[in-house]
Amino acid sequence: MDRLTVNARLMIVSDLDHTMVDHHDPENLSLLRFNTLWEANYRSNSLLVFSTGRSPTLYKELRKEKPMLTPDITIMSVVTEITYGNSMEPDNGWVECLNQKWDRNIVLEETSKISELTLQSETEQRPHKVSFYVQKDKAEDITRSVSACLKKRGLDVKIIYSGGMDLDILPQCAGKGQALAYLHDKFKAEGKLPENTLVCGDSGNDADLYTIPDVHGVMVSNAQEELLQWHGIYAKNNPKIIHAKERCAAGIIEAIGHFNLGPCISPRDVTDLSDSKLETFDPAYEVVKFYLFYERWRLAEVENSELYLANLKAVCASSLIMLLQSKSGIFVHPSGIEKHLHECVDSLRTSYGDQKGQPFRVWVDQVLPVLVGSDSWLVKFKKWEQSGGERLCCLTTALLSSKDVTVADGLTWVHVHQTWFKEAGPGGDAQWLF
């Protein structure tokens, strides 16, 4: 993990199902609120870690279904697989640890004798994870007997019951907590231990995340009985763990505020973005704000006012002279066509409210600004747009400049260049404005 040259300001380690992702929120509002907060305030100096029971196959399915950000570290199959970055490079050191006192064939042989255990799908069976479904009332007894018999066969396993139905058998050193401890040790060795770590979960396989020293923890409001019970027994008096009032990602935002870990107001919760007072130029915030406005414009959630378009034009010229001459920076559309940014702003006029009442959403992911001169930033990000069932994404680079403007004016968009993202380009002709 060498994206950061110094220690992260905040590392969030979050479970996905029913924690980061709310399966009862078809509009994904709390997830989108979290995304906007993260990209505007944390992405460039913090680390996002997803820790899920899902195998790589089911993790990828979830990413297609939900507007999820790209994490810096992905921990899958209840931590039996740790991977880094966009290319998901596996951590081979971790695999060595998992091999100790583990033999998958013996686990399969012994468990096949127990009729109450139903194997989960093939995709969820991994080299270091054997997973079943089991009824709630049978879980405790079965855990005890499987544990004893595998011990007799010389294995050292961990059995975890989650979500009131899933039973995972894993090597003893697996577990979300151990994986976090392993990461912390790695960061410490590099002198880059995060300033703060916040762990977030809702079910049994998340419990040991909260046992790692010095971490802050949030159990989201909708946490499962088994996690709350565990907390009642082992961690009741720990002030660093809260049971949030809010569900899922909204509970994570609540915890950031509760523990004072940094900004906790999502730009999505700010109605008038032009009102927000910045103290310094902030290219990531500028990008987040622009696309939030764009979404609201097409949903008719802001007023249909020429003033907004005029303001946009003002930030799309690279100098006052250019503005007076009605010239502006260049936008390279993903189709390869070049336009002036002012033309693009003009084309917004006719698209006001064209997505009203539709499940239309726009979000930005991995917004990473790099200072490329005394007054310019190159900001690279993925811009996602979901309209109905179709979801498109462009890798985007924007050159933003603070030359001749004040913080209150906002940065100037000098040049924007977009390319279809390989996994999410259009099948045919797509309507894509920005």
Q: How far apart are CA 159 and CA 169, in angstroms?
A: 5
Site membership for ligand GLC, residue 39 (CB under 6 A): no
- The verdict on 17 binding Mg ion (CB under 5 A) reads yes
Question: Residue 180 CB, nearest distance to ligand GLC (Å)?
Answer: 16
Q: What is the dihedral of CA 163, 164, 170, 173, to 10 degrees?
A: 70
CB of 120 to ligand GLC, least distance (A): 5
Contacts for 29 with CB less than 8 Å, ≥ 6 apart = none
By CB under 6 A, tell whether 72 contacts ligand GLC.
Answer: no
> Judged by CB under 5 A, which of 18, 54, 268, 383 binds Mg ion?
18
Alpha-carbon distance 315 to 376, whole Å? 14
What DSSP string runs through 224-270?
-HHHHHHHHHHTTT-TTEEE-SS-HHHHHHHHHHHTT-S----GGG-
Please give the residues from 177 up to 216 whose contact with ligand GLC meets the rule CB under 6 A. Answer: 205
Output the smallest distance, CB 228 to ligand GLC, in A: 17
Residue with token string 């139903």: 118
**Shortest Å distance, C-beta 52 to ligand GLC:** 7
Residue of the chain from 53, 201, 283, 329 that contacts ligand GLC (CB under 6 A)? 53
120 binds, among Mg ion, ligand GLC, none (CB under 5 to 8 A by kind): ligand GLC
DSSP 200: E
78 binds ligand GLC (CB under 6 A): yes
400 Cβ neighbours under 8 A, 6+ residues apart: 283, 286, 369, 376, 377, 379, 411, 412, 413, 414
328-357 residues in contact with ligand GLC (CB under 6 A) are none
Q: Which amino acid is at 168?
A: D
User: Residue count at the site for ligand GLC (CB under 6 A)?
Assistant: 11
The Cα–Cα gap between 132 and 116 comes to: 9
Among 22, 81, 202, 365, binds Mg ion (CB under 5 A): 202
Q: Which of 4, 11, 15, 298 binds Mg ion (CB under 5 A)?
A: 15
18 binds, among ligand GLC, Mg ion, none (CB under 5 to 8 A by kind): Mg ion
Per CB under 5 A, residues contacting Mg ion are 15, 17-18, 202-203
